[in-house]
Amino acid sequence: MRRYLFLIAVAAFSAILAGCGSASRPDDTASDPGLDRLDWEHDAATIIVRLDIRENGNTSASNLNAIPPCTVWGDGRVVWVTRGDSGEEEVLETRATDDAIRTFLEDIINRGFYTWEDELVSSDPNAGVTQSLTVYLYDDVRTVQRATNWPENGFDLILEKCQQLSPTPVLVLPWGGWVSAYPVARDDRLPHWYWPETLDFTPAQMVANGEARWLRGDAVAEIWSMLRETVNRPQVIGPDEQAYQLALVIPGISRDAAAPPPGEDQPLPTPTPQATPTTAEIM
């Protein structure tokens, strides 16, 4: 009953917005009183909108490494994925205004999101992809999943708007994350990346314990950059000369990432360079 009443309220709200013509005047959002009726949980840990794509048949590491195409948090933070000039995956982050998010939510509603239903996908789990759109409003979470066949190309159009919520994005360069390893057949034809000897654990240990380890520092940035390569991704070689596929999950960026361990939620301090002694100090 509660969900039924919520959907009725959303339908009525959509009708009000349509009557005001606000959906066709995105530049007037700051002065349109109709938008004041739409609100959300302004919490940094709460996901308001997420567009996601899961490739059926992916490996465990590939699923962990995949970043949802676009996610909006309650405090206005937006993270999305695009491609660089060389085909590498780039993860961008920005902060959107309340007016921009209201217009975005209004557009999703007016496209008929609350009338869309899941589409039955292929019975073959190794074929195709599954796209999903999740919206959280007024304590109600609704997710629609489809196999790329969306009403009036709704998923792609909403994704495009999500990636344009702010004109000032920055590149995500993580300083910490959960790393895990999965053994694969070694192929010496591929470029290699050797596990750093400075780390106090190895891929073999992670596999043996079935665990992900929290990692901070330069190695995180190096692994993150390597995993964003889609064409010439190096094969990871452990101290045991075994090949591994790595997964790196970043809190606040990756899908379903655990929080950092207690006391590990800040980057490592940058070493202060040693000052060169003057001639007088040497004397």
- The predicted-structure confidence for 141-167, as pLDDT tens digits, reads as follows 999 999 878 999 999 999 999 999 999
Same domain, 132 and 219: no
Same domain, 59 and 141: yes
Where among 170, 185, 214 does a domain terminate? 170
pTM: 0.82
> Domain range spanning residue 181?
174-249
CB atoms within 10 A of CB 213: 17
Same domain, 41 and 180: no
DSSP 192-208: EEEPPTTSSS-HHHHHH
Distance of alpha carbon 267 from alpha carbon 249, whole angstroms: 16
Residue 161 inside a domain? The answer is: yes
Q: Which two tokens stand for residue 150?
A: 């969306």
Residue 149 inside a domain? The answer is: yes
Q: What is the mean pLDDT of residues 187-201?
A: 95
Task: Please tell me which of 73-87, 202-216, 225-239 the model is most confident about, judged by mean pLDDT.
Answer: 202-216
Confidence band (pLDDT; 50, 70, 90) for 68? very high
Residue 9 pLDDT exceeds 60 = no
Q: Look at residues 249, 241, 98, 261 and name the one whose alpha carbon lies nearest to residue 183.
A: 241
pLDDT digits (tens, 9 = 90+) for 264-274: 888 888 665 55
Cα 40 to Cα 44, 102, 136: the distances in Å are 12, 9, 8
User: Residue 277: its pLDDT value, please?
Assistant: 45
User: Residue 273: its pLDDT value, please?
Assistant: 54
Residue 27 pLDDT exceeds 80 = no
Same domain, 207 and 71: no
- Cβ(44)–Cβ(73) below 8 Å: yes
Pairing of strands 213-216, 235-237: unpaired
User: Residue 269: its pLDDT value, please?
Assistant: 83
Residue 194 inside a domain? The answer is: yes
Q: What is the mean pLDDT of residues 26-48?
A: 69
Residue 267 inside a domain? The answer is: no
Q: Which two tokens stand for residue 120?
A: 């039955």
Same domain, 150 and 206: no
Distance of alpha carbon 41 from alpha carbon 51, whole angstroms: 18
Distance of alpha carbon 169 from alpha carbon 78, whole angstroms: 9
User: Residue 34: its pLDDT value, please?
Assistant: 45
Q: Look at residues 83, 93, 143 and name the one whose alpha carbon lies nearest to residue 119.
A: 143
User: Residue 272: its pLDDT value, please?
Assistant: 55
CATH of the domain at 130: 3.30.1560.10
